Amino acid sequence: MLPGPESMPPANEPVLIGDWLVDPRDDSIARGTERVKLEPRTMRLLMRLAQSPGQVVSQDELLESVWSGVVVGTASVYQSMSQLRKVFGDTDDPPRYIETVARKGYRLLAKVSVPPQTTVSETGTAPTEPKPGKWRARWAALALASLLAVAGLSWWIFARQTAPRAPPSIVVLPFTDLTSGKTEQAFCDGLTEETSNWLAQLPTLRVVARTSAFQYRDRSADVRAIGRELQTTHLLEGSLRRAGNRVRITVQLIDTNTGFHVWSESYDKEADDVLEVQEDIARKVADNLELRVTAETDTRFAGRRSKSAEAQRLYLLAKAHAARQDGESQERAMALYREALKADATFALAKVWLAHALISERYFSSRPIEELAPQIEPLLADVQKSSPDLVDLYVVRGQFYTEMRQSELAMRDLQHALQLNPNSASAAAKLGIYFLVSGQPRDALTYFTIATSLDPRAFDLHGSRCLALSDLGAYAMAASACERARALQPESAWVYSISSQLAEAQGDLAEAMKWSDAAIDHGSSIATIQGDRARWLVALGEPAEAGAVYKRALAENGEAARRNAALTYGGSAAAVEAGGSAGLRDFIRENKLDGSTVPNALFELANASLMVDDTKMAREYVDRALASPNFVAEDLASPWLASGGTSYLLTLATILRAEGDAAGADRRLDALGKLLDRLANSGVETYGLHYLKAALAAMRGNADAAMAELNRAAQLGWRDAWVADHLPYFDALRERADYRQLLAAVRAKNAATAAKLGARLTG
């Protein structure tokens, strides 16, 4: 006989359901020594059934009473019922606790009753009567305790009902490879990242990005501690085991506030069917977190699918390799993306991230982005046609346009990416880079900080914050950010490279060389790192050593070395020091630089020509730079280069003046002045900015202003006396005693640094 509804207690009072004591006041159910904590909404569902024991409660009624104000589907009811059955151990057929009534709803079968009042003391003996004369005190104490208890309970219930619930957030920890021999770890890593990316398509769910999640690999941290560190409400962890062609994936969703499991599931699949799991996990997590899967979300999910399981497997492996951020892994990632596209020529994600890997060649191989563009643009155009709602498209294309110096298009795409997914750490980070290279470090810092809040353990974000803070002259904060980047990823060459840049920005060339050593130890084939070292050596007045760096870089990666402007600068400075004009020409011929189409490298050869007073040769290289198919107008007035003290407007103005075109020279100097004013108004405070202001004032004949700016540059860290001696920018100051004294003081500091470095100077 089914239980009846009479004499049921209020919904917020404890009840007995079968042999379980259910207490909605703390969302617990207990039986003997067992005690289980339920999610608040699951408890409300159980108590709604308990209000009508033996009666069918429809799904619509449950949605209205339990999920009021939240847009969810019937799957939410099903999942909660499934959780309750697991808790009650209700696996029998027929069930003992909850029955599903087909096409109608659910019915609570177990007996529901009011718990009996306790009449026996905790020691098991009946309470004794109070002694005569003490009953009034006893009753007074009991009355006061009751009042306090009621007041406390009322406050607790009120606080519980009115306290705002934190918006849902989640971190996907690296899946564990349980396969014999750990042969599937790369695949596990790719599966982890892509599962996180699927979850990120849910617009109201904040998903901690991959870099932070992977910091917890092999760490035995309590889930509640992880939740506190990453500020997430939930955590998803999983494992994968492969045996032959069968794969078993197990996942579990955990509440990081309580440490309790919310949902878990195991998937036994053929290897070719594994990748269907990602979407199913995303949908189940959404259901358990009571998040709405909209038509827009369904469209985003569709954009991430491939027609081929093999293509998606190769894509996941490629993502795992690309995440290592070194040249060799990058090459392997590109090969895997291309293999994925052979398996499925329409796979949008593989196209987008192959484009991203090609963009990264700008750093790893110093290849001009213009030379890479013919491969990148068709990939992104195809995705625009097939998957226009794919957030990844706008993140990667925004980065591409930033590299191409197409500012309006870059801003359009990156802002659209954030509109599609406000929780995209990648979109925020790329916007930060856009503002950084645009000479707007305040805005850059804002977006890097946003990205860091979404991905707090991402070493590259802390490194980027270091660069922005350095441009703002906030060196102490920048040092902390660089230190954090090194601690998070001590195997990255880049973290040591930016640390050397920070030290050099403050004029500490000994510290800069120390970090340069570490950067080369971790990435000797990266031309950008070798180029930095060449620049530091020229600044120290050691151009011959800079030339040696150029030769070593040639041996490591010849094409990249020839394309890198900083290495061209170091090699040409050594040639000028050793052999003047003839030495420079020999250097250019021997290193096959005559055929270069890299604008920045050609401008550096023009500067070297000015060092030997060969205006004609300088004009030849400037003309070739301007005619290069890789030239963009912004290359002349690059805010990024100007922040560091380089502007090719100054090069061109010097040539035009030497040729007698004073009006043309003045136009270039005016453009430089506007650029420097804009940088200053954007918060840039670097020695490079003041060095260029000094050169500009000297070229305009304002010697006093030039000296004031050059002194400020020296105070901030300018040490490049060798260049000041060789370039004609400061010709108007050469007879001034204060100018000669300043350069002598800078040379003395450089000599002391070189002596301190000793053998380390040669690397």
**What are 34-88's pLDDT values in tens digits?**
777 777 778 888 888 888 888 888 877 887 778 665 544 555 666 677 668 777 8
| Gap between the Cα atoms of 118 and 195, Å rounded | 51
| Gap between the Cα atoms of 376 and 354, Å rounded | 8
Q: Which of 362, 357, 361 is nearest to 380 (CA)?
A: 357
The neighbour count for residue 478, using CB atoms within 10 Å, is 24
Options 3.40.120.10, 3.30.930.10, 1.10.10.10, 2.150.10.10; which CATH number does 15-113 get? 1.10.10.10
Please report, for the chain, the start and end positions of each structural domain, with discontinuous segments joined by +: 15-113, 164-305, 566-762
Contact 420, 404 (CB under 8 A): no
Q: Which of 281, 347, 283, 336 is nearest to 309 (CA)?
A: 347
For residue 90, give both structure tokens: 């209700």
Q: What is the pLDDT of residue 155?
A: 45
| Gap between the Cα atoms of 444 and 437, Å rounded | 9
| Gap between the Cα atoms of 650 and 221, Å rounded | 56
Q: Which residues, 6 or more positions from 756, have their beta carbon under 8 angstroms from its beta carbon? A: 510
| Gap between the Cα atoms of 234 and 254, Å rounded | 6
Q: What is the pLDDT of residue 689?
A: 97
pTM: 0.69
Contact 352, 313 (CB under 8 A): no
Contact 436, 478 (CB under 8 A): no
Per-residue DSSP letter, 176? E
| Gap between the Cα atoms of 277 and 758, Å rounded | 59
Please classify residue 654 by burial: count the beta carbons closer than 10 Å to its beta carbon, then call 0-12 exposed, 13-18 middle and 19+ buried.
buried
Q: Is the peptide bond before 543 cis (omega within 30 degrees of 0)?
A: no
Q: What is the pLDDT of residue 619?
A: 96
What is the assigned CATH class of domain 164-305? alpha beta
Q: What is the pLDDT of residue 186?
A: 80
DSSP string covering 66-86: HSTT----HHHHHHHHHHHHH
Walking along the chain (763 residues) 10 residues at a time, the average pLDDT comes out as 48 84 86 76 86 85 71 58 75 76 79 68 41 48 48 45 62 87 82 80 78 77 84 88 85 87 84 73 82 72 77 84 80 92 92 93 82 94 91 93 90 89 86 93 92 86 95 96 93 94 96 94 88 93 93 87 89 93 92 87 94 95 93 89 95 96 96 96 96 97 96 96 94 95 96 89 69
Q: What is the pLDDT of residue 139?
A: 45
| Gap between the Cα atoms of 497 and 467, Å rounded | 11
Contact 215, 488 (CB under 8 A): yes
